[in-house]
């Protein structure tokens, strides 16, 4: 296939709104799935949360999966 995405004049490099790196074609406008999740969590939770950063509550109830 030789179908090209329609682009405006000039090479427009989209940048990840999270970290500022050039966006990935697959994850546009983000650079990675991780930044996509970070942005999603921002919208959903209204707080800046980085996926993977587990917060353990003091008390120690181990009932999570």
Binding footprint of Zn ion on the chain (CB under 5 A): 16, 18-19, 21, 31, 35
Per the CB < 8 A criterion, the answer to whether 38 and 46 are in contact is no
Q: Cβ of residue 20: shortest distance to Zn ion, in angstroms?
A: 7
64 belongs to an annotated ligand binding site: no
Nearer to Zn ion, 26 or 65 (CB): 26
* CA distance linking residue 14 with residue 29, whole number of Å: 6
Q: In sequence order, which ranges of the chain are alpha helices (DSSP H)?
A: 33-45
Q: Cβ of residue 49: shortest distance to Zn ion, in angstroms?
A: 15
Per the CB < 8 A criterion, the answer to whether 12 and 29 are in contact is no
**Binding residue positions for Zn(2+):** 16, 19, 31, 35
């Amino acid at each position: 296939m030789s179908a090209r995405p329609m682009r405006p004049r000039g090479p427009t490099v989209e940048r990840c709104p999270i970290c500022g790196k050039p966006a990935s074609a697959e994850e546009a406008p983000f650079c990675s799935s991780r930044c996509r999740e970070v942005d999603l969590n921002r919208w959903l939770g209204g707080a800046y949360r980085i996926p993977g950063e587990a917060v353990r509550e003091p008390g120690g109830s181990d009932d999570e999966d």
